[in-house]
Structure 1
Amino acid sequence: MSETDFATFDAKTSADRTVMHVLYGMHTIAWASLGTLAVIALIVNYIKRADEHDAVYAAHHGYMIATFWWTIFWLLLTSPLYLLLIFPGVVAHAIVGFWYLYRCIKGWLRFDAGRPPR
Structure 2
Amino acid sequence: MRQTNFSEFEIKTPQDRNVMHLLYGLHTLAWFSLGVFAVIALILNYIRRSDELDPVYVSHHDYMIRTFWWTLAWLVLLSPLWLLLVLPGYIAYVIVWLWYLYRCIRGWLRFNSYQSV
* Structure 1 residue aligned with 2:57: 57
* AA at the equivalent of 2:40: I
Deviation, structure 1 residue 32: 1.1
Distance 1:99 1:7 in 2: 40
Tell me which residue corresponds to 1:87: 87
* 1:20 alignment counterpart: 20
Match in the other structure for 1:69: 69
- What TM-score do the two structures reach when normalised by structure 2? 0.94
Structure 1: which 5+ residue stretches go unaligned? none
Structure 1 CA distance for aligned equivalents of residues 6 and 44 of structure 2? 25
**CA distance in structure 2 between the aligned counterparts of 1:71 and 1:51, rounded to whole angstroms:** 25
What TM-score comes out, normalization by structure 1 length? 0.93
Shift of 1:8: 4.5
Q: CA deviation at 1:85?
A: 0.5
Aligned-residue CA RMSD in angstroms?
Answer: 1.3
How many percent of aligned residue pairs carry the same amino acid? 62
Tell me the equivalent position of 2:104.
Answer: 104
What one-letter code is carried by the residue in structure 1 that aligns with 2:55? A
Letter in 1 for 2:90: V
Distance 1:76 1:6 in 2: 46
1:18-57 superposed matches below 5 A: 18-57=18-57
Q: What is the aligned length?
A: 114
**CA–CA distance in 2 between the matches of 1:53 and 1:10?**
7
Q: List gaps (5 residues or longer) in structure 2.
A: none
